[in-house]
Structure 1
Amino acid sequence: MSRYTGPRLKVMRALGCELPGLSRKPLGERNYPPGQHGQRPKRKSEFGSQLIEKQKLRFNYGLGERQIQRLFREAKRDKAPTGEKLLELLERRLDNFVFRAGFAPTAVAARQLVRHKHVLLNGRLVNIPSIRIRPGDRITLTERARKIPVVVEALAEPALSRPEWLAFDEASLSAQVMRTPSADEVPFPVEVQQVVEYYAVRL
């Protein structure tokens, strides 16, 4: 399944949750599903609830279905709880780190920065958004990237407060991974056990 490029606010309304990685726009007063029947109360099935939680992860981190399935299989093989490991692997993506460090307004924009070779990982130019960061890694932007209006605006007013697992240096405009992110540091509400149950019967 290809990456989603449609209306982002419409997705957040359908999922009933603000996803900072997808859009900076708040739901506001229209915090109900889109469509002419959106305001009618609906009874959610077990499958529907599980699907919503899975879609939150997919859209916030900008992944295709195959990508998140691959990450789930990897998390399942780990000794740690599957749900917690899955969230950790998602948070450790390079494009997500660029977003969480405040270099981009959304994870979507961060992915584009990486793809267009504006990001340096430990001094080396990279263009793969799915690279997995590790404690000790340092991320900076190229000189050209620091002049991009979207980047300048994001640095002046980050979409989210920077998490404790990264250290940001204002002087050099660089960010360093201090430790592995934990599951409870994901910046939006998600019942990850529902995701585990969703894939448990499908993979």
Structure 2
Amino acid sequence: MSRYTGPKLKVMRALGVELPGLSRKSIENRNYPPGQHGQKSRRPSDYGIRLMEKQKLRFNYGLTERQIQLLVKEAKSAHGPTGDKLLELLERRLDNLVFRAGFAPTAVAARQLVRHRHVTLNGRLVNIPSIRVNPGDKISLTDKGARIPATIECLETPVLAHPEWIRFEAPTRSATVTRLPAPDEVPFPIEVQHVVEYYAVRL
């Protein structure tokens, strides 16, 4: 399954949650599912609840279904709770770090910054959004990347507050990973155990 490129607000309304990595728009004025019967009260099935939690992760981080599956498998083989490890792995993606550092308005835009070689990792140009960062790693914007209008706007008015696991340095337009991200630092509500249960019968 490929990455989603359709209407972003429609996805957030369907899931009932704002996903900062997907869009800067708000569902406050229409906080009900899209469609003719969107405002009618419907109780989702257990499967529907698990699917929606999984979709939150997929759409916020902009991943394909295959990528999510591989991360779940890795999380299951690691020490500690599978759900917590999964969230850590997602937050440690380079494109997510670029987004959480305030260099891009969404994770999608952050991925483009990396793909177009506007970001350096530990002083080296990189173009692979899925690179996994570690404590001590430092990212910076190139001079060209720092002149992009959307980037300038984000640096002036960040979409999200910088999480505690990132040290942001405005003068150098850089950010350093100070520690591993914690599960409760994901910037939207998520019941990750439902995601684990969703894949328990599929992997």
TM-score (norm 2): 0.99
Deviation of the 1:170 alpha carbon: 1.1
Deviation of the 1:79 alpha carbon: 1.1
- Give me the whole-angstrom Cα distance separating, in 2, the residues matched to 1:116 and 1:173: 17
Query: Which secondary structure state, in structure 2, belongs to the residue aligned with residue 171 of structure 1?
Result: helix
- Give me the whole-angstrom Cα distance separating, in 2, the residues matched to 1:73 and 1:38: 35
- Give me the whole-angstrom Cα distance separating, in 2, the residues matched to 1:198 and 1:2: 20
Q: Which residue of 1 aligns with 2:25?
A: 25
Q: Which aligned pairs between 1:3-14 and structure 2 lie closer than 5 A?
A: 3-14=3-14
Q: Which residue of 1 aligns with 2:85?
A: 85
- Give me the whole-angstrom Cα distance separating, in 1, the residues matched to 2:43 and 2:183: 29
- Give me the whole-angstrom Cα distance separating, in 2, the residues matched to 1:39 and 1:68: 31
Instruction: Give 5+ residue unaligned stretches, structure 1.
Output: none
- Give me the whole-angstrom Cα distance separating, in 1, the residues matched to 2:79 and 2:168: 31
Query: Which secondary structure state, in structure 1, belongs to the residue aligned with residue 167 of structure 2?
Result: strand
Query: Which secondary structure state, in structure 1, belongs to the residue aligned with residue 172 of structure 2?
Result: coil
Q: Could you list the per-position Cα deviations for residues 124-153 of structure 1 after superposition, in whole angstroms to 9, with x for gaps in the alignment?
A: 000000000000000001100111000000
Aligned residues: 203
- Give me the whole-angstrom Cα distance separating, in 1, the residues matched to 2:22 and 2:16: 13
Q: Which residue of 1 aligns with 2:202?
A: 202
What is the root-mean-square deviation of aligned Cα atoms in Å?
Answer: 0.5
- Percent identity of equivalent pairs: 71
Is 1:61 the counterpart of 2:61? The answer is: yes
- Give me the whole-angstrom Cα distance separating, in 1, the residues matched to 2:163 and 2:180: 11
Specify the code of the residue in structure 2 equivalent to 1:94: L
Instruction: Give 5+ residue unaligned stretches, structure 2.
Output: none
Q: Which residue of 2 aligns with 1:45?
A: 45
Q: Which aligned pairs between 1:69-148 and structure 2 lie closer than 5 A?
A: 69-148=69-148
- Give me the whole-angstrom Cα distance separating, in 2, the residues matched to 1:135 and 1:174: 14
